[in-house]
Amino acid sequence: MVDTRPVFRRWAVVAGVTVAAVLAASGPAVAGPVLPGAPPATVTLQPAGAVREVPTDFFGVNGARIISPENAEQWHDPVFRQALAGVDAGLIRVQGGTTSQWIDWRTGRFIQRPGGEFPGQNEGRNPILLSDWADVVRATGATPIFDLNVLTSTVDEQIAMLHEAQRLGMDVRYVELGNELWDPGPYYRQVYPTGADYARTMNEWIVRLRQEFPDIKIGVSGADDSSIVTTALGPRIQTWNAGLYANIRGADAVVLHPYWTPDPVQADIGSTAAGGVAAWNGFADKAIGGVPAGMEVWITEYNQINIPFGEIPGFPPQLISGVPQTWAVGLSVAGFALSSLTDPRVRMSVLHAAIDGLPSARSRAANGNEEIHALLADGSGGSIEYGRTALNEALTPIYTRGREGGTVQRITADGAPEVTVALGTPLGITRVTSIVGAEFLGDHPGAFLVNLGDQPVHVRMPDGLSGTLTADTLNAPPLSNPAFTPSDHVTETRTEVTGEATLPPYSLTQLTPR
Render pLDDT for 172-223 as a digit per residue (tens, 0 to 9). 999 999 999 999 999 999 999 999 999 999 999 999 999 999 999 999 999 9
Q: Does the residue 1 lie in any domain? A: no
Say if residue 45's pLDDT is above 80.
yes
Q: Does the residue 8 lie in any domain? A: no
Do 368 and 416 lie in one domain? The reply is no
Closest CA to 303 of 338, 334, 282: 334
CATH at 427: 2.60.40.1180
Distance CA 375, CA 433 (A): 26
What is the pLDDT, as a whole number, of residue 307? 65
Domain extent at residue 91 = 55-309+322-405
Could you tell me which residue, 86 or 314, shows the higher pLDDT?
86
What is the pLDDT, as a whole number, of residue 352? 96
Do 435 and 387 lie in one domain? The reply is no
Q: Does the residue 149 lie in any domain? A: yes
∠ CA 11-17-21 to the nearest 5 degrees? Answer: 135
* Mean per-residue pLDDT over the chain, rounded: 89
Q: Which of 21-30, 33-42, 180-189, 286-295 has the lowest mean pLDDT?
A: 21-30
Residue ending a domain, among 348, 382, 405, is 405
pTM, full prediction: 0.93
Reported as a pLDDT band with limits 50, 70 and 90, residue 259 is very high
What is the pLDDT, as a whole number, of residue 357? 65
Say if residue 13's pLDDT is above 90.
no
What is the pLDDT, as a whole number, of residue 21? 45
Do 417 and 401 lie in one domain? The reply is no
Structural element, H or E, at residue 329 = helix 327-341
Q: Which of 14-18, 364-368, 397-401, 456-460 has the lowest mean pLDDT?
A: 364-368
Say if residue 311's pLDDT is above 60.
no
Render pLDDT for 414-469 as a digit per residue (tens, 0 to 9). 999 999 999 888 888 999 999 999 999 988 899 999 999 999 999 999 999 989 99
Do 84 and 145 lie in one domain? The reply is yes
Total of domains in the chain = 2
Beta bridge partner(s), residue 508: 450, 474
Q: Does the residue 10 lie in any domain? A: no
What is the pLDDT, as a whole number, of residue 97? 94
Do 98 and 127 lie in one domain? The reply is yes
Distance CA 174, CA 160 (A): 15
∠ CA 337-342-343 to the nearest 5 degrees? Answer: 100
Closest CA to 259 of 352, 334, 327, 328: 352
Beta bridge partner(s), residue 460: 44, 500
Contact 188, 182 (CB under 8 A): yes
Contact 471, 507 (CB under 8 A): no
Say if residue 29's pLDDT is above 60.
no
Distance CA 175, CA 506 (A): 37
Residue ending a domain, among 351, 370, 405, is 405
Say if residue 243's pLDDT is above 60.
yes
What's the Cα-to-Cα distance from 405 to each of 398, 400, 467, rounded to whole Å? Answer: 11, 10, 22
Q: Which of 52-61, 188-197, 323-332, 415-424 has the lowest mean pLDDT?
A: 323-332
Could you tell me which residue, 12 or 147, shows the higher pLDDT?
147
On the 0-12 / 13-18 / 19+ scale of CB atoms within 10 A, 362 is middle
Distance CA 104, CA 188 (A): 17
On the 0-12 / 13-18 / 19+ scale of CB atoms within 10 A, 137 is buried
What is the pLDDT, as a whole number, of residue 306? 75
Q: Does the residue 314 lie in any domain? A: no
Do 419 and 355 lie in one domain? The reply is no
Do 134 and 233 lie in one domain? The reply is yes
For 214, residues 6+ apart whose C-beta sits below 8 A from its C-beta are none
The mean pLDDT value for 324-345 works out to 95
What is the pLDDT, as a whole number, of residue 443? 86
Do 153 and 298 lie in one domain? The reply is yes
Q: Which of 13-17, 214-218, 238-242, 402-406 has the lowest mean pLDDT?
A: 13-17
CATH at 373: 3.20.20.80
Contact 226, 286 (CB under 8 A): yes
Q: Does the residue 506 lie in any domain? A: yes
Residue ending a domain, among 355, 374, 405, is 405
For 4, residues 6+ apart whose C-beta sits below 8 A from its C-beta are 98, 99, 102, 117, 118, 365
What is the pLDDT, as a whole number, of residue 233? 82
Distance CA 154, CA 447 (A): 45
What is the pLDDT, as a whole number, of residue 25? 40
Do 424 and 490 lie in one domain? The reply is yes
Do 427 and 488 lie in one domain? The reply is yes
Distance CA 337, CA 354 (A): 15
Query: Does residue 39 have a cis peptide bond before it, meaning omega lies within 30 degrees of 0?
Result: no
Task: Return the biggest CA–CA distance within the chain.
Answer: 68
Distance CA 144, CA 154 (A): 20
Do 217 and 76 lie in one domain? The reply is yes
What percent of the chain has a predicted confidence (pLDDT) above 90? 76
Concatenating the DSSP letter of every residue in 165-206 gives HHHTT----EEEE-S-TT--SHHHHHH-SSHHHHHHHHHHHH
Reported as a pLDDT band with limits 50, 70 and 90, residue 34 is very low
60-74, 161-175, 308-322, 370-384: which has the highest mean pLDDT?
161-175
User: β-strand 468-475 against 507-513: which pairing, if any?
Assistant: antiparallel
418 SS3 class: strand
Q: Does the residue 374 lie in any domain? A: yes
What is the pLDDT, as a whole number, of residue 56? 97
Do 381 and 497 lie in one domain? The reply is no
User: β-strand 468-475 against 491-498: which pairing, if any?
Assistant: antiparallel
What is the pLDDT, as a whole number, of residue 262? 84
Say if residue 152's pLDDT is above 60.
yes
